[in-house]
Structure 1
Amino acid sequence: MPTTKLPALTGARWWAAAAVFVLHALVFLPVYPFQKSELFRVIHDLVPMQQGAAGVTFFFVLSGFVICWSFRHGMSVRGYYLRRLLKIYPTHLVAALVLILVVAVPLTRPVAWLPNLMLVHTWVPRWTTLGGLNVPSWSLCAELLFYLSFPLALPLLARIPRHRLWWAIVGMIIAILLLHTGFHLWTEGPKDTANVFAVRLLPGAVSPEFEIHVSPQWFAQSDIPIPASYWLSYLFPLSRLPEFYVGVLAARMVAEGVWRNTRLATPLAALTLCYAATWLVPINYKMSALLIAPMAAVVATLATRDLAGISGINSTRPMIWLGDISFAFYMIQFPVMVIVTRLFIGGRQYSVGGWALWTTVSLAASILAAAAIYHGIDKPLMRRFAHRPPPDRRTAPREGHSAINALTKP
């Protein structure tokens, strides 16, 4: 019987987190005059926002896969919700607290920080709440919706017969493309193929002491509108919900033997081609829509390789450890960059060498901080309060590890 552990999926999480980090290092480390140079413009053209967005798309699809794969028959919904909340909120709050301690967050103005702490800030299209405090936490608003919806959607998903799983996942991807087409045609915002996300530069050639999203000027602003098409296609949780269920359907396909491919080269080649195509399409498509299908294929293939006993670099111990700390790394990297800016960058001038130096320092410090959060907070909390129930041997599926398979058994 194949193992239910999927180490390659854990290790692969690191590559997604690293892709996000590289983009954030370019955007959130205010290194002047480097960021105002022609060299920076060339680098930013080669590392556009869709690189970080690709990492987020991977996490969203992977979330659906892993949640479906690990949800056992007989597991209480209350226990499931407790585990999901404990997995998100403690790390999120630690990262937010670090920022509150090192920047001038106006605690007397709750709109600048309370929606972020509660993880509801992406439901309203205003940069006042979207872009303040720990910027990467926006994706957790979508994750919360995913987790809350899953137990409610399971009975419906369980009705999809095995021989129609391909139709279901293709239909889901087509629906996503149609949704983004609607955003492009009927909502306000950029319509061309340019990458709209860029560094927000301040006057002068000396590096500022604050990254713009945590500066006193940012927190003081009453309202900052955001283009509707960008908000709906990238940040709005309901728009990202189908990506999660593509991952859920992919988990069913692997567990029930519908997806059997173990050759990683093909889905990686498809992902590379779709990523290259993001330079040629409008913003509504480049941030996630084009990448969902190949991302699901990569996730499914990695899982199938694990089940077949095929090892690779993602299954090695160092990669699994990096994958384990990847969520904490994702959450703490921006606060670390803010601290590095306050202590070492602000008030000074650096070229590309200075940017490379402080990026390396930020990477090392983020890994150390993430390890401390994971081993000191996340693991102890999960061990103490979120024990998984043993599988029900009478009803657990014999092949794979599908929640929907288990639900459909008598």
Structure 2
Amino acid sequence: MTQTIAADDAARARPLPSVAEIERRRPALPSLTGARWWAAFAVFVLHAMVFLPVYPFQWSALFRRIDWFVPMQLGACGVTFFFVLSGFIIYWSYKPGTDVVGFYRRRVLKIYPSHLVAMAAFIIATGGIPWSHLHVWLPNLFLVHTWVPTWTLVGGLNVPSWSLGAEMLFYLTFPLFLPLLRRIPSHNLWLAAALIFVLIVALHTSYYLWVDGPKGITNEFAPRLRAPHDVSPHFEPHADPRWFTLDTMQPPRSYWLSYTFPLTRLPEFLLGVLAARMVLERQWRNTRIWPPLLALALSFAATWFVPVNYKMGVLLLLPTTAVIATMAARDLAGIRGLNASPRMIWLGNVSFAFYLVQYPIMVAVTRFLIGGHSYGFWGWLGFATLCLVLSVGGGALVYYWVDLPIMRNFARSKPKPAADAPPVARAA
């Protein structure tokens, strides 16, 4: 089967374009657009287990078996994919001579409007938050909440927005790192990527050895189960009104440092930048997708046997980067697979908004439909499916009514008309 697919790929492939051809006009990479959906969907599946408090199902043996196969690192794999892909795409689309202020404007406009819409949706879904408690919402508003190791900040308001704090750091520092990254000779890109990975491993090892937090290999971060109960609550803990009255709640320090602290995730973004250079400069030529996918699957399976610090990204990082680079190389070679289909490209385009609105939708479904009732597995599956449909629809609305119009109208500065342009001659 694999040999047949490889033969088909070889038959469909065209020679990779030269470096000069790519630099003149960097082509679109539809497979990477479509693949964004799978990363966002992985996060959704994890959140459907964690954030839909359906009882008594969540106290059943079946739930525990499902939860064993859908651990925290499933969502973490999706986040790692997004961070590496962010570096790849930012470098791929960055044109020489780009105005830094214009770059910052485009990045802020890409993130902030959708973030504000999702934040407003969450507040409406919960019925309101205590505005006088500035520490509850102000850091989240400005996406600086992950810089402080406090659950009421990291897990406050729209939970998925924690990753945007890291993205903002990536965008802020990219113009600063770019000259240094461009000075690396092509033949040393592999060495540079290896050094970045060694740095990442060293960081997580230091967190594991010298910072307080879980040291075992158990998948620690299970759903926040209530005491045995047959009736579902109206609020998941992070959306419960009582959550917003807490002054502080400390997470395991090593978890915060290894997973949500923006500086720790920055090297993953830089690895994505180097991967883009490798593809652009023909240092990465592999177009066979199955080897990196197999490596990713094996790495994911290995997360059951390593400490928490390594579960959440380190083990998945290299195969994830290889998958991204290979899909880009396949696009350049003209190999169009499932991810490059129109339907997958559409899902990829709405995936960012989908990622942001999924949690507010789960909060609303829990509050108005699940709370006060008792459901088993089929009830949970039905509500999870409903949340999926509503999240895709809500993500599409945000993409077409907020993201797309803003990016089209405000992301790029409009060319100024020449001051001394001669009048247009009238046709005789």
TM-score (norm 2): 0.90
Could you tell which deviates more after superposition, 97-106 or 368-377?
Answer: 97-106
SS in 1 for 2:33: helix
1:184 and 2:184 aligned: no
1:99 shift after superposition: 1.3
Q: Greater CA deviation, 152-161 or 6-15? A: 152-161
Q: Tell me what 1:353 maps to.
A: 378
Contact 1:210 1:346 in 2 (8 A): yes
1:7 has 2:30 as partner: yes
- Deviations, residues 168-192 of structure 1 (Å, cap 9, x unaligned): 0011111111111111000000000
2:298 maps to 273
Q: Taking structure 1 as reference, are residues 268 and 389 closer, same or farther at Cα in structure 2, changes over 3 Å only?
A: farther
Question: How far apart are residue 100 of structure 1 and its match?
Answer: 1.1
1:115 equivalent in alignment to 2:139: yes
Equivalent in the alignment of 1:60 = 83
Q: Does 1:143 align with 2:167?
A: yes
Aligned to 1:26: 49
Of 61, 68, 92, the residue aligned with 1:38 is: 61
Query: Distance in 2 between the 1:292 and 1:164 partners?
Result: 20
1:118 deviates by 0.9
Which residue of 1 is the match for residue 345 of structure 2?
320
2:314 to 289, 292, 306: 289
Deviations 1:48-70 (A, max 9, x none): 00000000000000000000000
Q: 1:374 and 2:383 equivalent?
A: no
Instruction: Say whether 1:222 aligns with 2:263.
Output: no
The residue aligned with 1:232 is 257
8 A Cα contact 1:14 1:326, kept in partner? yes
How many pairs does the alignment contain? 390
Report if aligned partners of 1:91, 1:373 keep a CA contact under 8 Å in 2: yes
Judge conservation of contact 1:232–1:239 (CA < 8 Å) in 2: yes
CA contact (8 A) 1:48 1:195 kept: yes
Equivalence for 1:329? 354
Aligned to 2:421: none
Give the superposition deviation at 1:84.
Answer: 0.3
SS for the counterpart of 1:325 is helix
Matched residue SS, 2:294: helix
Inter-partner Cα distance in structure 2 for 1:159 and 1:329:
37
SS at match of 1:269: helix
What is residue 211 of structure 1 aligned with on the other side? 236
Distance, in Å, in 2 between the alignment partners of 1:265 and 1:88 is 33
Indicate the structure (1 or 2) with the bigger Cα radius of gyration: 2
Shift of 1:102: 2.3
Q: Which residue of 1 aligns with 2:11?
A: none
Give how far 1:320 is off. 0.3
Counterpart AA for 1:309: G
Matched, 1:339 2:364: yes
- 8 A contact 2:125–2:361 mirrored in 1: no
Q: Which amino acid aligns with 1:234?
A: Y
Alignment match of 1:88 (pick from 111, 118, 128): 111
Distance 1:20 1:388 in 2: 35
Partner of 1:168: 192
Aligned match of 1:75 in 74, 92, 98? 98
Partner letter of residue 187 of structure 1? V
**1:208 match: secondary structure:** coil
Deviations 1:5-57 (A, max 9, x none): 10000000000000000000011011011111111111111100000000000
Q: Which amino acid aligns with 1:348?
A: H
Instruction: Name the CA distance, whole Å, in 1 between partners of 2:125 and 2:293.
Output: 41
Structure 1 unaligned residues grouped into runs of 5+: 391-410
Distance 2:218 2:129 in 1: 33
CA RMSD of aligned residues (A): 1.1
C-alpha distance in structure 1 between counterparts of 2:278 and 2:165, whole Å: 27
Equivalent residue for 1:51, pick from 74, 83, 90: 74
Among 152, 156, 177, the alignment partner of 1:153 is 177
Instruction: Name which of 254, 257, 265 aligns with 2:279.
Output: 254
1:388 to partner: Cα distance: 7.7
Contact 1:75-1:389 within 8 A present in 2 as well: no
After superposition, residues 121-132 of structure 1 pair within 5 angstroms as 121-132=145-156
Residue identity opposite 2:89 in structure 1: V
Q: Structure 2, unaligned stretches of length 5 or more?
A: 1-20, 416-428
- The AA in structure 1 aligned to 2:286 is N
Residue identity over aligned pairs, in percent, reads 59
